[in-house]
Amino acid sequence: MNTIQNASETDFVINPRKFVLWLIIVASVMLFAGFTSAYIVRRGEGNWELFNLPSNFIYSTMVIVLSSVSMQLSTVFAKKTNYSKASLSLWITLGLGIFFCLLQYLGWKQLIADNVYFAFSNPSNSFVYVITGVHLAHVIGGIVFLTIVSFQSLSKNKINGINVYHSMCNTYWHFIGILWVYLYFFLYLNR
């Protein structure tokens, strides 16, 4: 009986690193829920200027979706023990993540060219910079994580089947991709 009880207890054990990742994701969801709620409340108070989002933001949306696809392909290849394709897919994801950052920077430059500045006197402008900037910080964290996993993938014994770090990177990368798609459409629909 004791053996059965111990077996059922271990069925629900989660890797501590994955648990911390999920705590980070939950905290990030709460952070962006707070930002978007504050955005809606502040917009209702008036003094809100309308402006167009930069076209680079839609391009960055397409890039982050493509990077999510390549990340998922990496996971599929790793599970099939096709290490060379898993590694290549990770490196492609990393390149697309860096390209996303470049497009965000170009989007900010486009905002500045359209006279949309971060200014306390204009909350609509400031919210766009804060929301996209904090998301970009999450992406940069993902790029650091992805870089580590990509270098690990060069050694076949580090990616055996699918290691914990590869799995965690996959989860986090999909999260920041989904988050950006949500944020883009939120900002687009609530200008």
Q: Is residue 105 part of a domain?
A: yes
Q: Is residue 154 part of a domain?
A: yes
Q: Is residue 9 part of a domain?
A: no
Q: Could you tell me what percent of the chain has a pLDDT over 90?
A: 62
Say if residue 125's pLDDT is above 60: yes
Say if residue 135's pLDDT is above 70: yes
Q: For residue range 157-190, what is the model confidence (pLDDT) as tens digits?
A: 555 556 888 899 999 999 999 999 999 999 999 8
Which two tokens mark 152? Answer: 């690990």
Quote the domain boundaries for residue 62: 15-189
Element (H, E) at 27: helix 16-44
Number of domains in the chain: 1
pTM comes to: 0.88
Map tokens 């929301």 to a residue: 131
C-alpha to C-alpha distances, 68 to 22, 64, 85, 159, 177, nearest whole angstrom: 18, 6, 15, 19, 7
Residue 120 pLDDT grade (very low, low, confident, very high; cuts 50, 70, 90): low
User: In this predicted structure, what is the pLDDT of residue 144?
Assistant: 97
Q: Is residue 1 part of a domain?
A: no
Rounded to a whole number, what is the largest CA-CA distance in the chain? Answer: 72
Residue 70's CATH number: 1.20.120.80
Q: What CA–CA distance (Å, rounded) separates 168 from 18?
A: 6
